[in-house]
Amino acid sequence: MSLHINEIRKDFPILDRETANGKRIIYLDSTATSQKPVQVIEAMNDYYRRSNANIHRGVHTLAEEATAMYEGAREKIAKFINAASSREIIYTRNTTESINLVAYSWARANLKSGDLVILTEMEHHSNLVPWHMLQMERGIELEFIPVTEDGVLELDTYKTLLNRTPKLVSFTHMSNVLGTINPAAEIIQLAHAAGAIVMVDGAQSVPHLTVDMQALDADFYAFSAHKMCGPTGIGVLYGKSALLESMPPFLGGGDMIKEVKLRSFRANSLPHKFEAGTPAIAEAIGFGAAVDYLTKIGMDKIAAHEHEVTEYALDRLEEIPGVKVFGPSADKKGGVTAFTLEGVHPHDVAQILDRDGIAVRAGHHCAQPLHEKFGIPATSRASFYLYSTKEEVDLLVSGIYKVKEMFG
C-alpha cells in the first residue's frame, strides 16, 4: 500500500525550491492549498498553447477541442466521486461559492422564518456566514452540534436536535483545524430520516479520502480543485439532479439560458443552468488532470500514507514539553495537526519556522468559533499530503525546539 514517495515528490517542482537564505522548502500547509504536480501544470499550459478558445458556442476546431476538454474534465470529476451523472457536477469558483449557491438558490426558495438549519461548532466560516446571512434576511433558526474536548461531534445532541424537524443539515466531512473525519454517512442517514436536506463541505475530504456520492447519499456536496493538486479558482457543487432541476438559477448571463426575450428568459438544462458566462476553462482542464493524477496513484494509498505521517507527527509533537495538540487520535482524523506552544503566539511559531524553510499556517484558520470553543485565539497548523514525509515531521519538531529556545 505504500507510496513511491521519492518518485511522487519529483512531480512537484516547487518542492525543489530553496528560500532566500538557502533553506529547502518544507511544505506543511496543504490544508490551505496543495502543491501542483507537473502533469497539471502541463495540461493547462497545453490548452493555452494549442486549444485556447471559448466553449459551447463555437463550431470551429479550437472551440470544439476546448469544449471537449472542459466537459471531459466534468466526466472525470463525476466518476471520481461516483456521481450518478456528470449533469450533477456544477463548476463553481471554490467550495465557498458552492455553499453560497445552495444558500442563495435552494435555501431562499425553500426556507422561511422559523425553519431550522443544523450546523456544527467545527465549521469553516464558509459554512457559517451564508447561513448567518440567511438568518438575518429570513429569520431562520440556527442550532449547532457541539464538539467534545477531544474534537469529535456529540451525536447524541444531534439526534435530539433532529426531533425539531430541521429543513437542512450542513456540516464538514473533515475539519480543517482538528482533522476530525466526521461519520458523514450516519449524519446524512439520520438527517434524511428526520426529513432534512443535507449539504456537506467536502473541501478537506475529497483530496484525501475515497468519497462516494452513491454510498453517502448527500443531497449537496462541495469541494475545491486547489486542495487536491489542481488549480485555484475552480470548485464543484455536486447536487442530486432532482434538487438541481427544482432550483432557480444562481447567476444570470450567457450560457445559462435556453432562450432570452426582452421581457423573459428560459433557463438552460443542467449543469449549464448554474454556469453563467465564460467559465474557468483552463482551470477545469487542470482539475481533470489533477483527478487523473490522484486516480493513478490511488486514493486508498494516499489516505494510508497520510495516516502514517500524521500518526508519526502526533507522537513526535506530544514529546515536546509545552505543546498541546488539538483534535482526536490519528485513527479518527486526516492529515491535519493543529497545536499551541505554551508562552508563544502561533504567529511567532510560524515566522520562526519559516526561517528554516518550514511552511505552516498560523491563525484561526477561518474557524473562529471553534477556537473560541477551546478558549484560544489561534493555533499553529501543520498539514500533510501525498508528498509529505516523516523526515519533514522531524524537521518541524526540531524547529519547534528552536522556537522554545528563543523564547526561553
Task: Tell me which residues are annotated as active site.
Answer: 366
**Closest C-alpha to 183, from 333, 363, 387:** 333
Task: Collect all residues with Cβ–Cβ distance below 8 Å to 210 and sequence separation of at least 6.
Answer: 299, 300, 303
If you search the block for the grid coordinates 502543491, which residue do you land on? 35
Residue 287's Cβ-side half-sphere holds a number of Cα atoms within 13 Å equal to 32
| Rounded Cα gap, residues 227 and 28, in angstroms | 13
3-state SS assignment for residue 148: coil
Task: Collect all residues with Cβ–Cβ distance below 8 Å to 407 and sequence separation of at least 6.
Answer: 343, 344, 348
CA angle, corner 359, sides to 40 and 373, nearest 5? 105
| Rounded Cα gap, residues 34 and 19, in angstroms | 18
Q: Which residues on neighbouring strands pair with residue 224, listed in sequence order?
A: 235
Q: Which three cell numbers stand for residue 47?
A: 490548452
DSSP class per residue in 12-55: -GGGG-B-TTSPBPEE-BTTT-----HHHHHHHHHIIIII---S
3-state SS assignment for residue 231: coil
To the nearest 10 degrees (0 to 180), the angle between helices 281-297 and 61-80 is 40
Q: Which three cell numbers stand for residue 147?
A: 464538539
**Closest C-alpha to 219, from 134, 73, 106, 128:** 106
In the 8-state DSSP scheme, what is residue 278? S
Task: Collect all residues with Cβ–Cβ distance below 8 Å to 293 and sequence separation of at least 6.
Answer: 11, 37, 39, 40, 229
Q: How many CB atoms lie within 10 A of CB 49?
A: 9
If you search the block for the grid coordinates 463548476, which residue do you land on? 91
